[in-house]
A and B are shown apart, each in its own frame.
Chain A
Amino acid sequence: MRAIITVIGKDKVGIIAGISAVLADNNVNILDITQTTMQDVFTMIMLVDIKGVTIDFSLLSEKLEKKGDEMGLSVRIQHENIFNSMHRI
């Protein structure tokens, strides 16, 4: 099962490091990363594989959110299918 993580907020040092540490701790594999900065707003989108994840999805989601709060960022994880179904026929 694959999910998409989006990180939105003000650019600063250590965003990728912070988020990927949470992912590594919970056995989430990063498949792809894209990032852009538009008018000072940092946007990172990660495609991850959560097949081997060791904890409940909602707990992982909470952990990422908490990490985001610490760094002043909005972090969310969503099942990949929501984007596929909306944008792909």
Chain B
Amino acid sequence: MIRSMEVIETIKMIQEECLDIRTITMGISLRDCCHSESKISRAKIYDKITRLAADLVKVGNNIEKEFGIPIINKRVSVTPISIIAESSDEEDYVKFAETLDEAANTIGVNFIGGFSALVHKGYTIGDRKLIRSIPEALSSTKLVCSSVNVATTKAGINMDAIKEMGEVIKRTAHLSEKQDSLACAKLVVFANVPEDNPFMAGAFHGVGEPECVINVGVSGPGVVKCALEKVKGADFGTVSETIKKTAFKITRMGQLVAQEASKRLGVEFGIVDLSLAPTPAVGDSVAYILEEMGLEKCGAHGTTAALALLNDAVKKGGVMASSYVGGLSGAFIPVSEDAGMIEAVKSGALTLEKLEAMTCVCSVGLDMIAVPGDTSAHTIAAIIADEAAIGVINNKTTAVRIIPAIGKKIGDIVEFGGLLGSGPVMKVNNFSSEEFINRGGRIPAPINSLRN
């Protein structure tokens, strides 16, 4: 029988250290929902999602009850809508977003991802229409998330798409001005996007994925922080070992939940995403882990090294705990969703430039960053270009989820609510990148992409 101490340890992790399963995400292929008539295509989309994911929320809630582990989100990701809508006569893809929103509402999920386009090498007709419709789609729906992949190591960086995304983000911010430009929090621009990521806003169901699949994203920064408290002052070998052991335990939870969900729903198990995803709750912060390693504030010199160690140890610990690992897998560093990051920005310890450096070693990129509303589209595009370059050259995923908060200045606070949290508006380098961005075209794939 399991020992008392082990039972208590698990319960303590859940009760006091905010251990949870962040999301069960059902990936659904919509490739059989194409039709020349938009109305028919949308009806097929609605029917398929509501049929396959009908029991997703119920099963998630049952697992949560029986195993006593909170499952915070139940989500659906679908094939990038640009691919599905493209066959139709529709000009206005906002209607497809509304269909996704309705379907998500019917089945009761927290978010639906896949209002997406993959344009790392160029646009198709559907990609163009979809990207054009993003601002209105995100501000007129509640649950729909959108992502655009603008670069890969293999294809290089599509600078035309990056320029357009700068403008799209600005328009999206303006359209949701009354909610502190909240709609921008549902839009991610990626380089090297993974096809099986269960986390929002970047989740979509990749074209190489099966018909229907269950992916699970774990969490647990609080558990790692508490484990590190017990090895105060120990050397980095010990720090790494401690994080690995903890990540192993956290991931085993994810694996268990993924298997149960897959069995009960009769849907194939895809991957477990080994991510440390923070929430605004105190004690659920990635920044606090870095500070626990001995930094006065997240953002101090040494932060990048600390994050590199954390990110690597999380993967090493997690990888043996799950039969299939995928998605983003690593530590997230969103600003507004992490109490420690917010404090670090407010106190002046953490700047946009330092965050950019940190994205070289974390799992994603510049995430949930509020900048002044008057930041130009060119500057936003240039921020995306920098991130894409980091991803492309280093063979990793990078992303930008940035919120130009209309009407707000540096130091103002924007409130998104819920898991999206709230965050201070950060300073942006004001020197112009306009001429650079206006060049357009593609930055060729780097030499390290030629591996054959």
Q: Do A and B form a real pair?
A: yes
Q: Cα distance A60–B11 when bound, in Å?
A: 19
Q: Are A87 and B4 in contact (CB under 8 A)?
A: no
Can you report 23 residue pairs joining A to B where beta carbons are below 8 Å apart? A4-B2, A6-B7, A6-B11, A32-B1, A45-B7, A47-B1, A58-B62, A58-B65, A77-B68, A78-B67, A79-B68, A82-B10, A82-B67, A82-B68, A83-B6, A83-B10, A85-B255, A86-B6, A86-B10, A86-B249, A87-B3, A87-B10, A87-B249
- Contact indicator per residue, chain A 29-43, by CB within 8 Å of chain B (1) or not (0): 000101010000001
With beta carbons under 8 angstroms apart, the residue of A4, A43, A57, A81 that contacts B256 is: A81
Q: Are B68 and A76 in contact (CB under 8 A)?
A: yes
Q: Are B7 and A81 in contact (CB under 8 A)?
A: no
Q: Are A86 and B4 in contact (CB under 8 A)?
A: no
Q: Determine if B252 is an interface residue (Cβ-Cβ < 8 Å).
A: yes
With beta carbons under 8 angstroms apart, the residue of B7, B66, B255 that contacts A83 is: B7
Q: Determine if A61 is an interface residue (Cβ-Cβ < 8 Å).
A: yes
> Within residues 56 to 81 of chain B, which ones have a CB less than 8 A from any CB in chain A?
62, 65-69
Q: How far is the CB of B101 from chain A (nearest CB, A)?
A: 30
| Interfacial residues, chain A to chain B (CB-CB below 8 A) | 4, 6, 8, 32, 34, 36, 43, 45, 47, 57-58, 61, 76-88
> Within residues 166 to 205 of chain B, which ones have a CB less than 8 A from any CB in chain A?
none
Q: How far is the CB of A9 from chain B (nearest CB, A)?
A: 13
Q: What would 18 more interface pairs be, CB under 8 Å, given A47-B1, A83-B10, A84-B2?
A: A4-B7, A6-B7, A32-B1, A43-B4, A47-B2, A58-B66, A77-B68, A78-B66, A79-B67, A79-B68, A81-B67, A82-B68, A83-B2, A85-B253, A86-B6, A86-B10, A86-B249, A87-B249
Q: Which residue of B is nearest A44, CB measured?
A: B4
Q: How far is the CB of A68 from chain B (nearest CB, A)?
A: 14
Q: Which residue of B is nearest A31, CB measured?
A: B1
With beta carbons under 8 angstroms apart, the residue of A34, A43, A47, A78 that contacts B68 is: A78
Q: Which residue of A is nearest B260, CB measured?
A: A81
Range class of the B interface residue count: 20 to 34
Q: How far is the CB of B1 from chain A (nearest CB, A)?
A: 6
With beta carbons under 8 angstroms apart, the residue of A58, A77, A80 that contacts B2 is: A80
Q: Cα distance A36–B7 when bound, in Å?
A: 13
Q: How far is the CB of A58 from chain B (nearest CB, A)?
A: 5
Q: Cα distance A8–B66 when bound, in Å?
A: 19
In the complex, which residues of chain A have a beta carbon less than 8 angstroms from the beta carbon of B234?
none
Q: Cα distance A87–B4 when bound, in Å?
A: 11
With beta carbons under 8 angstroms apart, the residue of A36, A61, A77, A82 that contacts B4 is: A36
Q: Cα distance A58–B63 when bound, in Å?
A: 10
Q: Cα distance A6–B234 when bound, in Å?
A: 34
Q: Determine if B8 is an interface residue (Cβ-Cβ < 8 Å).
A: yes
Q: Cα distance A77–B68 when bound, in Å?
A: 7
Q: How far is the CB of B89 from chain A (nearest CB, A)?
A: 48
